[in-house]
Amino acid sequence: QKEVEQDPGPLSVPEGAIVSLNCTYSNSAFQYFMWYRQYSRKGPELLMYTYSSGNKEDGRFTAQVDKSSKYISLFIRDSQPSDSATYLCAMKERDSSYKLIFGSGTRLLVRP
């Protein structure tokens, strides 16, 4: 079993839709949860990170962590064609830890 599971998609939605992207994980020691966005033929870039459980909002993006279910989500409101990319979740255990564990990524396509 992989430590972090993520549906590869592709997920295709019309412009303006609410998008839900999810990851599940098996390691209960994970405390830091990150979402990276990767455009085609580019390196990943950090969108948001959350420490422990709860929600975090940044503009049209909301990250949610449910540690009891070992489940994290990224919601995108009013999705735009420019949101079309691969979204990777990543997690790590401790503040001092170097080791990020990545999901395989979900490819999102927002249709105009």
Partner 1 sequence: NAGVTQTPKFRILKIGQSMTLQCTQDMNHNYMYWYRQDPGMGLKLIYYSVGAGITDKGEVPNGYNVSRSTTEDFPLRLELAAPSQTSVYFCASSSKDRSNTEAFFGQGTRLTVV
Preceding peptide of 10 cis, ω within 30°: yes
Q: Which residue has the tokens 């979204």?
A: 87
Residues 6+ apart with CB under 8 A from 14: 110, 111
Which of 1, 41, 82, 112 binds partner 1 (CB under 8 A)? It is 41
Which of 1, 14, 99, 112 binds partner 1 (CB under 8 A)? It is 99
Q: Check binding of 52 to partner 1 (CB under 8 A).
A: no
Q: Check binding of 63 to partner 1 (CB under 8 A).
A: no
Residue 8 in tokens: 């590869």
Distance, CA of 64 to CA of 66 (rounded, Å)? 7
Distance, CA of 34 to CA of 91 (rounded, Å)? 6
Which residues 71-90 are close enough to bind partner 1 by CB under 8 A?
88
Using the rule CB under 8 A, give the single segment among 12-20, 42-50, 61-69, 73-81 that binds partner 1. 42-50
Q: Which residues of the shown chain bind partner 1 in the complex (CB under 8 A)? A: 4, 6, 8, 32, 34, 41-46, 49, 88, 92, 95-100, 102-105
